[in-house]
Amino acid sequence: MDTPAMNQFVEDYLLVTDNDSESYHEIMGMPELLAGNMSGLSDRMREEFETYISEVVERENEAGHEAGALLISQLLIGWGSATFDRIARHYIGLKTEIGVA
């Protein structure tokens, strides 16, 4: 079920990844995308995102910023597969639109 928060997260995520050359090219070169594997792409993107956020949370905890770490974790981890499915569908649509092999 789409929520305003989920829609905002997807919009913000795509704003960054569509406009950061390195992120965009990394996603467009993922084997799951090239194979048109939406669920595999979604899972990979979610796992990579959550791993990165977990690393940020750990750094903040180690620096003594417990409240900040909790906020980052609460806001950014646990969006679920439906959220990343939408993001994956966006990139599969782009791949089809621009004809990436």
Per-residue pLDDT reduced to its tens digit, 73-93: 999 999 999 999 999 999 999
Q: Average the pLDDT over 15-23 and give the result.
A: 98
pLDDT value of residue 43: 97
Torsion of CA 47, 51, 57, 60, to 10 degrees: -150
d(CA 41, CA 89) in angstroms, rounded, equals 9
Q: What is the pLDDT of residues 21-75, one digit of tens each?
A: 999 999 999 999 999 999 999 999 999 999 999 999 999 999 999 999 999 999 9
| Helix ranges restricted to H, 1-101 | 4-19, 21-28, 31-34, 38-62, 66-76, 81-98
Could you tell me which residues come within 8 angstroms of residue 1 by beta carbon, excluding any fewer than 6 positions away? 82
Contact 13, 85 (CB under 8 A): no
* C-alpha torsion sign, points 22, 40, 98, 12: negative
